[in-house]
Amino acid sequence: MYNTVITIHSYWAYVVLIVLLIAVINAIYKSVAGKEYEARDFRISLFTLIVSHIQLLIGFVLYFVSPRFDLWSELGGKVMSNSLARLYLVEHPFVNIIAVTLITIGYSKHKKKLTSQSKLKIIAIFYTIALVLFLSRIPWSTWMG
């Protein structure tokens, strides 16, 4: 089961990053260019929200079926002194939960705004921060290797 879940989690991450990048570029471009917020922009931000939440759920499953989870009982408090264990058991999950939370907050806040510029600005800010957080905690050595 672990191999299946990690494969899904890894490939779905590409979908999340691509869709999130599209949402960020779209929001920044339209905000800077002074363009109007359209139904297409709503769909892009909604799709980003959906794929990021799916990734989060897959990540929760992976976290508890991973053999790395046993390191909590083996290392105890020393998980924080082991950089690899800390990345997989603390940093990656925690930072990515924050990133998905920011996407959720950005999506919710943008719906309450009345003007195109304020809607696009909220999406641009929250989704960009989420993108930076995602990119900062990807275990690049194993993901691309």
pLDDT category, 73, cuts 50, 70, 90?
Answer: low
pLDDT for residue 68: 76
- The domain total for the chain is 1
Sign of torsion over alpha carbons 117, 131, 19, 48: negative
Residue by residue, DSSP assigns 59-120 as HHHHHHHSGGGGHHHHHGGGGGGSHHHHIIIIIHHHHHHHHHHHHHHHHHHHHH--SHHHHH
Residue 71 scores a pLDDT above 70: no
Residue 145 scores a pLDDT above 70: no
The predicted model gives 116-123 an average pLDDT of 95
- Who wins on pLDDT, 71 or 14? 14
- Cα–Cα distances in angstroms (integers) from residue 76 to residues 17, 89, 92, in the given order: 33, 12, 18
pLDDT for residue 63: 86
> What's this model's pTM, rounded to 2 decimal places?
0.91
Percentage of the residues of the chain whose pLDDT score is greater than 90: 68
Q: Of the given ranges (25-34, 48-57, 80-89), which has the lowest mean pLDDT?
A: 80-89
What is the domain range of residue 48?
2-143
pLDDT for residue 89: 81
pLDDT for residue 144: 57
Report the alpha-carbon distance of residue 55 to residue 82 in Å, rounded: 26
